[in-house]
Chains A and B, each alone.
Chain A
Amino acid sequence: MKTLNKYSSKSKAISCGQETNFLLSSDLNRPPVHVDAEIKNGLDFSDAMLALREVVISDKRSVKKDHSKYQAWVFQEYLKELNKSQPDSIKEIEANRKKIIRELNNLGKKIKNNPLTVEDNNFYKAQRKFWDWLYNEDKDLWYILDPVISVQPECIIFEAFSLDESSYGRVTLPKRMLSKSKKYTIGTTNIDFSRNLANEFSRVRSYRPLNLKIGQNNVIASTKISENIEKKIDLPQSWVNGFLEVQTASTLNHLNFDLTPDFVSDIIAFLEQHKNNVSPKSLKIKLQNNKKPIFEIEPWGKKLEEHNYIYHGPDKEIRLWGRSRLSILKNILKKTEKVSVSAIDDGMPSFWSCKLNDVTFDLCLSGWTANDWSSQLKFALMSADPKRIIFDNECELLNEIRNLVNKKIKLSISEITKKVNCQEKDALACLQKLCSDGLVMYDFHTKEYRWRELFNSGDKLIKKVTNKNLVKGLSIDPNLIKARITNLPEGQRNITWVYDKKIFGWPRLSRAQIILDNKDNFIQTDCDCFDFKKTFKKEGPCKHLIALMNKYIWERYEN
């Protein structure tokens, strides 16, 4: 979706011997958002913001090698070999070709020596120089770098995704860290967060007060000429999907454990010292109740035991990929007391949280580097009533919850169910829908839903269904599905569907199974089909599971 972000001026930092003022220009098309205050212990905040910048510029996608020169050489070699065995007519053609090439070369030389074109080399040099300069001067012309700021009643949240959209970073600055607050207007905005501004964060020191100003008029007052800087941002649907995915993943059942920052530093140092070119490239974590977590760095089999913290929870061994992304934390590790980790399962997202005194920095990593947060609605599909997310189904309850969260700004799920008098799973389905519309965010720290409008009022998110399994699954006729539902203890349900080759051409009887808790959250999913076994982590539930969910869960919501 294309949206126009308009800033009253460039964001800037004004440093003088005594203090540093950060003037963050907010988007003019949004309702005004204001913060004008001094930050206590600005050093922690600046460190967290620098880490956020590391997230934003992080791109771990592998670059495809350019084989074109090699292929051209192979082609020439092939022609040489062909030459030996070709008939006379082909030899004639070849001779002509060579003649033309010679002529072309001569012409090329003439053009090259022509005084008008002699400057060409300098032009390309100058062009290269320009791009190099631009890269250093204004990197945001190379890529979009506009974190979302949510000014909330008790904190300010800065969020952004990495370039490859596989890492999500969040800085939470509590309101109690603000002093001499002159203005504080709740709302959401994008900030014009240029590289130079990020540079300024590295200038912050504890002996120099740091003033943070987010707003529109402030910046105009500080500049001589009123100017509007418009940035056309291709605010991608992927960002909203990404936010939704992070939020949904954060609601899943987690294994939580703490790590000493020095231990994480050791892992990063080890990874930096060893070339990462042999598979498996995972981080194997062995968790045993009442024991310190043990990390095994593959393929070297290097085992490291956590220095200090003991894990409490069920025994489990999980493997995480895309471990090089942990280097984002490198510079803030020495400032934090502990790193709190939440992991779900093998190849699933993990959450790494660092507290820099009162400022919190969260790094959420997707299952692996190439698996971005947002391309498919993987986790959202496993949430309550995803059909509501995908298709724009409005209902009274949805409107009621929307108005309630808008009015109260932040609410827990129990407060919402109490106020609108509905079941928790119905409220959850509506809240997921609001999250997918970019209106609400789930705060995984406080376990509350917050009002956070990602778009200008009036802009509407156009959703595209990109998940192939979803389309295939929904096309299966629900009447053909006959599943067995078994009630389990604590309100859990086991839905099993045995399907045979006559329906879908499978060579044998196969089984799709879902186990749900009392809130219709997924505890376990399984299917015998090839798609599920191969790509579940990557593409979410297979078409059989989608069909099963459609008949036994989603249709129930619709009715």
Chain B
Amino acid sequence: MLNKRKITILNDHPEIEWEIIAPHIIQRFTKNNQEEIIAKEYWKRIKHYLTLPEEVKKQYFSSLMNDLLQSKSFISKHNKKAVEILLQDYASIDLDLPSFRKYFLEVTKNKEAINEIWEYLGAENIRENLVNHKHLQACINESSTTNLIIEQQDFDEIEIKSLAQIKAMKAFIENKKNKKLINELVPLSLNNNQEISQIVLGLIEEHIRDTRVFLQLIESSMPRAIETAEKFFKKLNPSSDNYYETLLSLCDSPYENVQAFGLELIKQNISYLPKSSLLRNLSETRNQLIQKYLANEISNLLSDKDEFLHFEADILRTRNQKRKLKELIKKRVERVIEDNVSSNLDQKYLAPLVSLTLGLVKEDRAWAIRNLTSLSVHGYEIKDLAITTPIKS
């Protein structure tokens, strides 16, 4: 460590430091593990060397950039500092373009360093910085380097904040588009930057036919993405093979707006769909709109009486919600009981009715007792139900 006295001497005779001490400091800083305080001191000195007059740097520090930016241990351990050196003005002054490019490629082998560069490009004052830093500007304009930076980013979370980033991203998209690698760009369609997201949405609309991608778009909260996806789903041919599965995946989405959209498509194209299996599959939904649609549809359906038993039982067993739906189901169940009372009604119908007789809602109780009585009269064995009558035979 340099004490105050030594620093005073060195300040008076800086060439001693430049010639004798500086090489040791640089070597130790790049190679060895020091304590944090010592590393901090070394770093201060190195930054000081970088700001020295050109003739001094030429004489004593001609290999400084090389020592730092060719050192893998330095880049991996101090990636932020490596990027800082590379992107500061002095790099532009001290280095010629081929050397800068060489170091740039070396630094961008490290993923964290790439992220740092991307962050730098997103800074508010990046435009002025680029004006000062001709080499960086030249590198950014090369598609190979921008691709290298952008490819390492996580497209689900990438932030595009500056014009420089937009420009780089546009070049990247153009490159992928030409190589027909549009699938890789899909996450960018949901990016915070409207310009980029718009471009990618346009490409998706034009080139992609995978319903999973559009499902992802419709489930996003971005109006433009939703609009694009809705357009795609509306355009699908209802008589195509996968149409039925596609509508089901829309209705099974966890998002209500998507479920409602799926239901709308079902209503529009019901004539093309296998109705009975569709209704059976929809019976597992938790969406109230779909449940209501289903209840309305099955109330007029004379299909197998126990086909929707689970659905109906589930609705009858809900408490404190879905009253209108429950009334619809009650009507249908009543009809099923009436129609099948003389034949064999599935015993499973009895459990929800018995449970309703003990429930808290008076109307439900009365309805259940009435139907159970009717069943009991027709010879069905109902546990705990006794019919008493004042009429004696």
Contact surface of A with B, Cβ cutoff 8 Å: 15-18, 43, 136, 199-200, 202-203, 205-208, 224-225, 227, 260-263, 265-266, 268-270, 272-273, 304-305, 307, 333-334
Contact = CB atoms under 8 A, between A and B. Distances in A.
A67 B314 CA distance: 45
Count chain B CB atoms within 10 A of each CB in A206, A208, A262 and give the residue with the most. Answer: A262
B319 interface: yes
A265 B319 contact: yes
A269 B360 contact: yes
B318 A203 contact: no
Given A268-B319, A269-B319, A307-B354, A207 B254 contact: no
A309 to B, nearest CB: 12
B317 A43 contact: no
Given A270-B360, A334-B318, 4 more contacts: A17-B246, A262-B359, A266-B358, A268-B319
Interface string B221-251: 1000000000000000000001001101100
A16 B215 CA distance: 9
Nearest to B319: A269
A262 B215 CA distance: 37
Contacts of B249: 15-17
Contacts of B248: 17, 205, 207
A265 B317 contact: yes
A225 B314 contact: no
Interface in B350-393: 352, 354-356, 358-360
Nearest to B253: A203
Given A205-B284, A261-B317, A307 B252 contact: no
Given A17-B245, A43-B284, A266-B360, A334 B254 contact: no
Nearest to A15: B249
Contacts of B253: 203
Contact of B154 (A225, A266, A273): A225
Given A206-B284, A224-B184, A307-B358, A273 B320 contact: yes
A225 B317 CA distance: 47
A307 B355 contact: yes
Closest 10 CB pairs between A and B? A17-B245, A269-B319, A269-B320, A262-B355, A199-B254, A265-B319, A334-B317, A202-B254, A307-B358, A334-B314
Given A17-B242, A205-B281, A262-B355, A272 B320 contact: yes
Nearest to A265: B319
Given A269-B320, A273-B320, A262 B358 contact: yes
A203 B254 contact: yes
Contacts of A270: 360
B324 interface: no
Interface in B299-314: 313-314
B121 to A, nearest CB: 19
Contacts of B320: 268-269, 272-273
B212 interface: yes
Interface string B307-344: 00000011001111000000000000000000000000
Given A260-B355, A307-B355, A15 B212 contact: yes
B252 A203 contact: yes
A15 B248 CA distance: 12
A263 B358 contact: yes
A18 B215 CA distance: 14
Contact of B212 (A16, A265, A304): A16
Contacts of A304: 360
Contacts of B152: 225
Contacts of A263: 358
A65 to B, nearest CB: 28
Contact of B319 (A15, A208, A266, A305): A266
B161 interface: no
Given A206-B284, A262-B359, A270-B360, A17 B254 contact: no
A429 to B, nearest CB: 46
B28 interface: no
Contacts of A227: 154
Nearest to A207: B281
B257 interface: no
A522 B392 CA distance: 61
A11 to B, nearest CB: 14
Interface in B3-44: none
Contacts of B211: 17
Nearest to A337: B351
A155 to B, nearest CB: 25
A262 B245 contact: no
A322 to B, nearest CB: 20
Nearest to A307: B358
B209 interface: no
Contact of B317 (A17, A205, A333): A333
A193 to B, nearest CB: 15
A521 B132 CA distance: 79
B284 A15 contact: no
Contacts of A202: 254, 286
A206 B252 CA distance: 11
Contacts of B284: 43, 205-207
A19 to B, nearest CB: 11
29 contacts: A15-B212, A15-B249, A17-B211, A17-B242, A17-B245, A17-B248, A18-B245, A43-B284, A202-B286, A203-B252, A203-B253, A205-B284, A207-B248, A207-B281, A208-B252, A225-B154, A227-B154, A260-B355, A261-B317, A262-B319, A262-B358, A265-B318, A268-B319, A268-B320, A270-B360, A272-B320, A307-B354, A334-B314, A334-B318
Contacts of B242: 17
Contacts of A15: 212, 215, 249
Contacts of B356: 262
A488 B329 CA distance: 61
Contacts of A203: 252-254
A555 B307 CA distance: 66
Contacts of A225: 152, 154
B152 to A, nearest CB: 8
A272 B318 CA distance: 13
A200 B252 CA distance: 10
B241 to A, nearest CB: 10
B317 A262 contact: yes
Nearest to B211: A17
Nearest to B355: A262
A43 B354 CA distance: 26
A273 B318 CA distance: 14
Count chain A CB atoms within 10 A of each CB in B152, B215, B246, B284 and give the residue with the most. Answer: B284
A474 B250 CA distance: 64
Nearest to A263: B358
A205 to B, nearest CB: 5
A266 B281 CA distance: 28
A480 to B, nearest CB: 55
